């Protein structure tokens, strides 16, 4: 019997909480390939210590997880020069460990998630004569996190983004706008880039009261849910001040991962509200519980602002709200707004003022017919197009094209 084609997936971040990578790994297994996953595990990651459970979850003999255990990042270094030097040394050491792990996997195809993974896997793939697929989740040189290693290495990342994609045998992009940007920066023919959107799997959704029970919210009160990273760049600083102006005694639930320092700032902002009793700050939500939380909300909120890294992105929250049939409001960020206008599933904010945020939220809260129509439009679009099953078909088609006779 012919051996199964071996795919090595490479990601330089935490695998267990990366929804896109997990879905792609599962879909590639379902297509009949053998998969080895190279991903990182740090002491501060929830993944650390959980690797033993993944082989069974992803299909036994055809799936192998090879975690690269990295040291925790140094904290509390106040001197900028020393901090930068430590960060660069940490990055070089970490990337070398990942590259060594990739070298140990002799695969037919190396599926590289983001530009840094492509940089690390390109030489091993050449040595083992494997094909290479570049999967662009983000334009990494656009990510602006003050003090992060990405900010410090931006010139190097930009160089890779200009020169490495054209060396890949196939390119996937997480949004059409990413495809256009990769083509413009690297010279890859845009028509050859395969968009694979990060949509949730299509499945039936049932109403729940999980949020009302968790936070003791009255049955008559509407529930607005923000579900995502509790980071300063997500627009929460604009959302919180308008909560006092919401109609119908609406409750607001903010849930997601975030550093203690960020949560402390949010808690301080919430405590200054007149309606602070109607604002609830939750923690990390496991992937499997996301649909349940969405179905417990009246509407969702996507307050991401118009910043460079958001310009091309399609946040998971967009597709999750559509799948749940929940209306939402969002800023006029080009990539996201294009889908919202196409599907008529949300209200797009005309500007970034607090008054516009408050009036738009209240418009949806006060008009049940509008809320129902927006939610139904989103769900229909999810069933028709914006679901993972339809997106995964594109991965199989690209693999067959890249591998040629090997995949036959």
The band of 46, judged by pLDDT with boundaries at 50, 70 and 90, is low
Mean predicted confidence (pLDDT) in 109-126:
97
For 62, the token pair is: 């055809």
pLDDT of residue 128: 97
CB 244 within 8 A of CB 250: no
CA 148 to centroid of chain Cα atoms: 18
**Using CB atoms within 10 A of its CB, is residue 173 exposed (0-12), middle (13-18) or buried (19+)?**
buried
Q: Is domain 6-199+387-407 in CATH 3.40.50.2000, yes or no? A: yes
pLDDT tens track for 181-212: 999 999 999 999 999 999 999 999 999 999 99
β-partners of residue 254 are: 226, 281
Q: pLDDT: is 93 or 15 the higher one?
A: 93
Mean predicted confidence (pLDDT) in 37-54:
64
Q: pLDDT: is 145 or 3 the higher one?
A: 3
DSSP 8-state code for residue 129: T
pTM score: 0.87
Q: How many helices (H) and strands (E) does the chain have?
A: 17, 13
Mean predicted confidence (pLDDT) in 386-404:
95
Residue ranges of domains in the chain: 6-199+387-407, 210-384
Alpha-carbon distance of 136 to 114, in angstroms, equals 5
Alpha-carbon distance of 270 to 256, in angstroms, equals 16
Res 77 pLDDT > 50: no
Share of the chain above pLDDT 70, in %: 87
pLDDT tens track for 291-348: 999 999 999 999 987 655 556 778 899 999 999 999 999 999 888 999 999 999 999 9
For 178, the token pair is: 């990413």
Q: Across the chain, which distance is largest between two alpha carbons, in Å?
A: 70
pLDDT of residue 19: 85
List the end-to-end C-alpha distance of the chain, in Å, as a whole number. Answer: 14
pLDDT of residue 49: 46
For residue 70, the SS3 value is coil
Q: Is the alpha carbon torsion for 397, 399, 403, 408 positive or negative?
A: negative
Q: pLDDT: is 218 or 57 the higher one?
A: 218
Q: How far is CA 281 from CA 73, 256, 257, 318, in A?
A: 27, 9, 11, 21
CB burial readout 199-222, b (16+ within 10 A) else e: bbeeeebeebeebbeebebeeeeb
Region of poorest pLDDT, from 29-43, 49-63, 266-280, 283-297: 49-63
For residue 135, the SS3 value is strand
Written in H, E and C, the secondary structure of the chain is: CCCCCEEEEEEEEECCCCHHHHHHHHHHHHCCCEEEEEEEECCCCCCCCCHHHHHHHCCHHHEEEEEEECCCCCCCCCCHHHHHHHHHHHHHHHHHHHHHHHHCCCCCEEEEECHHHHHHHHHHHHHCCCEEEEEECCCHHHCCCCCCHHHHCHHHHHHHHHHCHHHCCEEEECCHHHHHHHHHHHCCCHHHCEECCCCCCCCCCCCCCHHHHHHCCCCCCCEEEEECCCCHHHCHHHHHHHHHHCCCCCEEEEECCCCHHHHHHHHHHHHCCCCHHHEEECCCCCHHHHHHHHCCCCEEEECCCCCHHHHCCCCHHHHHHHHHCCCEEECCCHHHHHHHHHHCCEEECCCCCHHHHHHHHHHHHHCHHHHHHHHHHHHHHHHHCCCHHHHHHHHHHHHHHHHHHHHC
pLDDT of residue 234: 82
Alpha-carbon distance of 286 to 350, in angstroms, equals 33
Q: Is domain 210-384 in CATH 3.40.50.2000, yes or no? A: yes
β-partners of residue 39 are: 67
């Amino acid at each position: 019997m012919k051996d199964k084609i071996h795919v090595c997936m490479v990601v330089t971040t935490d695998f267990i909480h990366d929804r896109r990578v997990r879905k792609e790994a599962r879909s590639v297994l379902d297509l009949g390939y053998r998969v080895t996953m190279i991903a990182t595990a740090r002491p501060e990651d929830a993944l650390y210590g959980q690797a033993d459970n993944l082989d069974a979850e992803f299909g036994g003999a055809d799936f192998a997880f090879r975690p690269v255990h990295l040291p925790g990042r140094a904290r509390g270094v106040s001197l900028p020069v020393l901090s930068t030097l430590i960060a660069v040394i940490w990055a070089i050491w970490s990337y070398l460990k990942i590259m060594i792990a990739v070298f140990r996997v002799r695969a037919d195809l190396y599926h590289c998630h983001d530009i840094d993974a492509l940089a690390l896997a390109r030489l091993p793939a050449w040595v083992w004569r494997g094909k290479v697929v570049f999967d662009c989740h983000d334009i990494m040189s656009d990510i602006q996190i003050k003090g992060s290693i990405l900010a410090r290495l931006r010139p190097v990342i930009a160089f890779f983004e200009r020169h490495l994609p054209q060396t890949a045998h196939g390119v996937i992009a997480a949004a059409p706008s990413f495809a256009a940007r990769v083509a413009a920066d690297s010279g890859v023919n845009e028509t050859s880039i395969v968009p694979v959107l990060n949509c949730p799997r299509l499945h039936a959704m049932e109403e729940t009261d999980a949020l009302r029970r968790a936070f003791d919210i009255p049955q008559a009160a509407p529930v607005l849910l923000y579900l995502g990273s509790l980071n300063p760049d997500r627009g929460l600083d604009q959302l919180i001040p308008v909560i006092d102006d919401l109609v119908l005694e609406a409750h607001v639930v903010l849930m997601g991962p975030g550093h203690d320092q960020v949560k402390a700032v949010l808690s301080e902002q919430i405590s200054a509200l007149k309606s602070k009793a109607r604002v609830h700050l939750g923690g990390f939500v496991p992937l499997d519980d996301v649909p349940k939380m969405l179905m417990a909300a009246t509407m969702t909120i996507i307050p991401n602002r118009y910043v460079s890294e958001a310009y091309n992105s399609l946040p998971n929250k967009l597709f999750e709200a559509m799948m749940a049939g929940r209306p939402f409001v969002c800023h006029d960020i080009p990539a996201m707004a294009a889908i919202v206008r196409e599907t008529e599933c949300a209200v797009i904010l005309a500007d970034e003022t607090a008054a516009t945020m408050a009036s738009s939220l209240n418009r949806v809260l006060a008009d049940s017919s509008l809320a129902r129509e927006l939610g139904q439009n989103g769900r229909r679009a999810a069933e028709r197009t914006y679901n993972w099953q339809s997106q995964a078909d594109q991965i199989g088609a690209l693999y067959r094209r890249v591998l040629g006779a090997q995949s036959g």
